[in-house]
Amino acid sequence: MTKRLFNLVLCVALLLISISSTAFSEPASPDQPSITLEDGTNHIVDLINQESQDNKLMIFTRSYGTTTKPPLVPTTEAIITNDIVTAIYTNSTNGTYIPANGYVISGTGNKAPLISGFKIGDSITTSFPISVYPAQYFTVNEEIVPITQVNAGRGAADIVLYLPEYGPATKTNPWGMEITVDGGSVTRIATMTQDTSGNWLDNNSSIPASGYVLSIQAESPFFAKLNGTVRIGDAVELNMNNEVLVEASKVGYDALNPRTREDNPGGWDDGSNEPYPGHRGTDQLIIYDNSYGAATGTNPWGYEVVVNSEGKVTQVSGNNSTIPAGGYVISGHGVKASWLSEHVSIGSSFKLLTDKKQTLFLFTPESYLDKAQIGIDAAKQKLILSKQQFLDINYNGMEQQITSAQAALVDLKSQIAQGDFASFTVQFAELNARVEKASFMGYESRTVDHRSIWIRPKETNLGQVQQHIAKLHALNINSIYLETWWNGFTIYPTSHPLAAQNPIYGGFDVLNAYITEAKKAGIEVHAWVENFLVGVGSMAGPVRSLKPEWSMISRQGHDYQDVPLYNTQYYFLNPVRPEVRDFVSEIYKELLQKYKVDGLHLDYIRYPDAGDYTNDFGYDSYTRNLFKQKHGADPIDLHPGDNLWQAWVDFRKNTINEFVYRISSEAKKLKPDIRVSAAVWPNYVNGPEFMHQEPKDWIAKNYIDQLFPMSYHPDASSVATDSLNSVALANNKALIVIGVGTNLGLTKEMLLKQINESVAVGVSGSALFEFESLFGNEYDKALLAGLYSKPAIVPDKDVLTSFKTIISEMQRKIKQIYVPLNGMDNDKKYVKELEQLEKSWKDKKSAGKDAKEALKKIEKLLERIESDRALNIEVKKRMAADLNYLETIILVYVSKAAH
């Protein structure tokens, strides 16, 4: 459903009409209130918010009530929202629902045929203003402003309400404005502002303990309306409980079933003289029916809505969707993808207006029922499939959620039939929460699993750290990757003359606090460090100004990387310089000597993205002279395709490789049990050339224990592909932890699918980017219902414990799932074999020898399972998956032990 405010058009009128109290008879004056239909005809409105009379055209707004009265004479009524005919009723027994964000047009007697002639989707305007109210809004200076999010990350065009429970500040970027309200009045205004150096300053308003902050992103139309017009002291009224049950939205589409360039020129890539995937171009909306083919064939960068043969939306989000028989897929890219995400919900009704080349989506009280039923049916199907696949989930709990939701749906149907809309949205939200939880419960939760989170710490006292650790512990997170060296600052007091603790902490040792509190909760802390990246925008550490000659220089002579996405600059040190490598090494040595961290996590372990090579990096005089001494050519004269171009790529790539070797070796010398990991771009084909990042080399030479591919995609298949490629790259010499983006605005279901499909191809767990968006977007509730429902141990922290835990879990599943669901005749045979496997690894002292013996037994057990004709094929898959995962953990362990 839409988050936008539906203000009806103010047409030319010389007289403002009082909606709540004035009645009208047939007027002769052109200034009387009227409606204009899509065909351009005008019709006088006889009554507004008055009791119904025969042979009249009337308008009812929410000022009249929540429904019109049951008709005493022949009556046809239409619900109008967003200037669109949303629903039409004739002689409705209980009257017609009046939406808060629209109105009802009613025709009686000889005026009823006018309404009967309306078509769903027709446009209608009034000659006078009607105030309409979204579900959540605030008013300031008579402007009604919708609220799109509460205590969440501020995305494009969002208007977010930040309450005190969100934290001390909004943590927002510069691209918007913020209104701080306390005591019902504006106390502070933050807008897009630059400092004296031209750097944009974050909004990041403090949230008053007894007030709130309203944050308006710059792409919202209300930014232009409010920026510069709101003043300190202006009154603000907040309304968070407005009931909105009806929505209607129309948007034009670009093509229906495009197959050629002529069908859709915008879907053609002139550079390659080929169509874009699915013939879907930039910012386009494409319609597909099943005459097009089995699926849309689109790439991951979009958003799709699936409509069944009954015209109901059954699925949202994703790409390359299967096209249902008799239905449609509506596929958007760019701004049209955003439009679909914002306006369309499961349960919406869809109409294709081919004569206008438009799509129409409607959401009515009946749509709530459709959405609930679609969700219940999907949860039932998932439950059936889960049993067929012998998944390790809470079947009883899932069934209880479905049963409870089904009973609540019956109650809601009765309410609608009786025209009772009091607390309807609240009751539906409770029903929908049950449906969603039932679906989320359909995902397995492993007890040996990386559950990782990236955190940029902003806490300034122990209490704040304790609150955050408590939230992570409740979510069964077992490892924190804490940003410890970022923008050229440490998060702890440092004695290094070229570094400093970030001033935002006011001297508070946030690293020590995290380590101490996380240890109490049984959570690991890894130091997330950013190597040669020492500044972003105006926030840059001391080393940048103290050692300007250390800067990395671009081909164009700049000492920064332009990052248009954030309208800022990134500043890197030059890793070719020995003194730069020494400096970063010294920072890490101090860190590891002072603090008991569980790991060192390397990020930005690369050069800036080369793009098209018109402005790649490494062109300071020191680096150029060094390369020239070795190869006899100045690299600034080299370009892709030149004889020495690959030598120049390798020169920079090997610089990074050798630094990884050094840091890993130094870290393990200081702390033999420390784990070294790296966050990388998962394009392993182009990464070595574009970013001079070669993780395959680090893993092959055993310098990396865990690899974190940052797979920030809107779909699940792309993330699964990155996971599969990363597992193959690691080749059992490192564990793969897939990084997924909670900051991307994914649906909860999509986030769970991304992780689940990655687990299926062999990753050791997931890493969530990042803390604020995880909780702000309430992904924690979805994860805790399924994937993270059980506490889990870190796979490579104590491999012997992981070994015994996985075997114990396999024995439990045999007894509690496989045998009771008739996937296995009895539990004795395989339980005994698993007991023998567990005994093959006696203790940590004999780990090296016993681990290899355990691997032999695992292989034999896999062969026996595969050849067992009495064993259900799905049970074979489940047992093989567990044994393969166990095998990977042991193989990585053996690889490290031999190094």
Strand partners, 599: 526, 675
Q: DSSP code of 682?
A: S
Check whether 2 has a pLDDT greater than 60: no
Give kind and range of the element (H or E) at residue 405. helix 395-417
Check whether 126 has a pLDDT greater than 80: yes
Amino acid 18: pLDDT: 34
Give kind and range of the element (H or E) at residue 50. none
Burial class (CB in 10 A: 0-12, 13-18, 19+), 565: exposed
At 109-119, the pLDDT tens digits run: 999 999 999 99
Amino acid 416: pLDDT: 84
**DSSP E strand stretches across 408-492:** 450-455, 479-486, 489-490
Here the tokens at position 244 are: 């909105």
| R_g of the chain computed on alpha carbons | 31
Amino acid 114: pLDDT: 97
**DSSP E strand stretches across 202-284:** 211-217, 236-239, 247-252, 255-256, 268-269, 274-275
Listed range (150-154, 204-208, 736-740, 762-766) with the worst mean pLDDT = 150-154
Mean pLDDT for the stretch of residues 527-543: 96
Q: Is the peptide bond before 219 cis (omega within 30 degrees of 0)?
A: no
DSSP string, 813-856: HIIIIITTTTSSS-SHHHHHHHHHHHHTS--GGGHHHHHHHHHH
Provide the CATH number for the domain formed by 450-544+574-613+648-785 in this structure. 3.20.20.80
Check whether 564 has a pLDDT greater than 90: no
- Select from 890, 832, 806, 771 the least CA-distant residue to 171: 771
At 724-760, the pLDDT tens digits run: 999 999 999 999 999 999 999 899 999 999 999 999 9
Amino acid 30: pLDDT: 53
At 81-116, the pLDDT tens digits run: 999 999 999 998 889 999 989 999 999 999 999 999
Mean pLDDT for the stretch of residues 769-791: 95
| SS3 at position 353 | strand
At 179-229, the pLDDT tens digits run: 999 999 999 999 999 877 677 888 999 999 999 999 999 999 999 999 999
- Domain extents in the chain: 1-133, 137-239, 247-363, 367-440, 450-544+574-613+648-785, 799-898
At 580-620, the pLDDT tens digits run: 999 999 999 999 999 999 999 999 999 999 887 889 999 99
Amino acid 23: pLDDT: 34
- Return d(Cα 872, Cα 866) in angstroms, integer: 10
Check whether 428 has a pLDDT greater than 90: yes
Mean pLDDT for the stretch of residues 161-165: 92
Check whether 563 has a pLDDT greater than 60: yes
Query: 444 in the Ramachandran plot: left (φ > 0), alpha (ψ -120 to 50) or beta?
Result: beta
Check whether 169 has a pLDDT greater than 70: yes
At 669-728, the pLDDT tens digits run: 999 999 999 999 999 999 999 999 999 999 999 999 999 999 999 999 999 999 999 999
Q: What percent of the chain has pLDDT over 70?
A: 96
Amino acid 29: pLDDT: 45
Burial class (CB in 10 A: 0-12, 13-18, 19+), 241: exposed
- Return d(Cα 290, Cα 142) in angstroms, integer: 49
**pTM for the full predicted model:** 0.88
At 333-360, the pLDDT tens digits run: 999 998 999 899 999 999 999 999 999 9
| Backbone torsions φ then ψ of 673, nearest 5 degrees | -90, 0
- Return d(Cα 306, Cα 313) in angstroms, integer: 6
Amino acid 843: pLDDT: 78
Mean pLDDT for the stretch of residues 480-489: 98
Here the tokens at position 184 are: 């019902």
Do 711 and 751 meet the contact criterion of CB atoms below 8 Å apart?
Answer: no
At 795-804, the pLDDT tens digits run: 999 999 999 9
Amino acid 1: pLDDT: 39
Neighbours of 169 (CB within 10 A): 15
pLDDT band at 417 (very low <50, low <70, confident <90, very high): confident
At 13-68, the pLDDT tens digits run: 322 333 333 333 333 345 789 999 999 999 999 999 999 999 999 999 988 988 99
Amino acid 24: pLDDT: 35
Check whether 555 has a pLDDT greater than 90: yes
* Alpha carbon distances (Å) from 508 to 462, 491, 492, 494, 513: 9, 9, 7, 12, 9
Class of domain 1-133: mainly beta
- Select from 814, 803, 831 the least CA-distant residue to 893: 803
Burial class (CB in 10 A: 0-12, 13-18, 19+), 334: middle
Amino acid 418: pLDDT: 79
Amino acid 415: pLDDT: 85
